[in-house]
Structure 1
Amino acid sequence: MDTNKEIIIENIASEDTVRALVQPGSVLSKIHYDFRVPTPEILRGLGISERTIDILTDTDVTMAKLTIKNEPRRNLTNNFGIIGELVDELRNLNVNDNKVTLEGKTQNSTLQEYSYEVKNFMTPVDIPTSRTFDGEIVQLTLREIANEYFIRMRAAYIANIGVIRNLANL
């Protein structure tokens, strides 16, 4: 058996999608639904007056946003089974110009928005272009910048190796 195999991974999908919420300890706070402006019948069903509907038909409005939430400081649910069902059902609304985002938090994160859009895993890395030497600012050479880049990218990789392996299914 050949143990000297090379794996080349060009992109790693981030865990910041709605799937992150489908785990114990997660909380769902809000559901946002951005959609093309619907027909007058749907607007009537939302309780919008006839006069408002008439005025809107004379404007350039193309999108509407519906937010589903609870009373202030109360979440929609912390039942990950219900969250999972909502994630699966709301996926059907997330087509074309219609976008669904869920606001919530996982056991290991703070409150943030999660979407169905898959994004690549990223981590910020600051690369200095100068340093202070004897009280004066000195510009780094290209070789020094390249060295800083290597050192900091390696440190970011080592700091995130567990997350990277998880996301890459390794």
Structure 2
Amino acid sequence: MKLIASFVISMLLIFLLAEGHAADFSLQENESENISSFQWPGFYSKKSELCTLPNNGEDCSEQFRDHLKIESVRQGYLVELHSTQADQHVCSFLFEMDNVGQALIYKTHFGPVLIQRNGSFLEISSKGIDPTALGLGVCGAHAEIDGLRFPLSSKVDGRR
């Protein structure tokens, strides 16, 4: 009797483990589908988390908002960024970006600027390009675009 009970319990555990793996796989498939069907256009806004006052370095994140605006254009997407950071230095650009794979890309002779979906955020990556010194000219001396993140939950279809 113990042998039959052990066998039944073993089979039940195998079944439950298999169901768990199937559920994990199906979540991965759904997440992949969500990423590939992601709609870029929108207006994303958040408080300027990197903002500090120039005279004393105090936090000014409640006084300024960073925004990322993405619009469809004929050949890709028009992307506008504005971010207030350390010493109230600003990163700001208006680029026409191409949709390549699952990212928006702006190619420069210094390297690419990318916007990718990373979990529940849109993340900007400049892969080590200095946005000031190399002539990209989009940031003040104490500001950086690499690693800026905008929560997907902040997306609105029209500008507020």
- Kindly indicate whether structure 1 or structure 2 has the higher relative contact order, using CA contacts under 8 Å at least 6 residues apart: 1
Q: TM-score higher than 0.5 here?
A: no
Q: Which has the higher strand share?
A: 2
Q: Which has the higher helix share?
A: 1
- With normalisation by structure 1, the TM-score equals 0.22
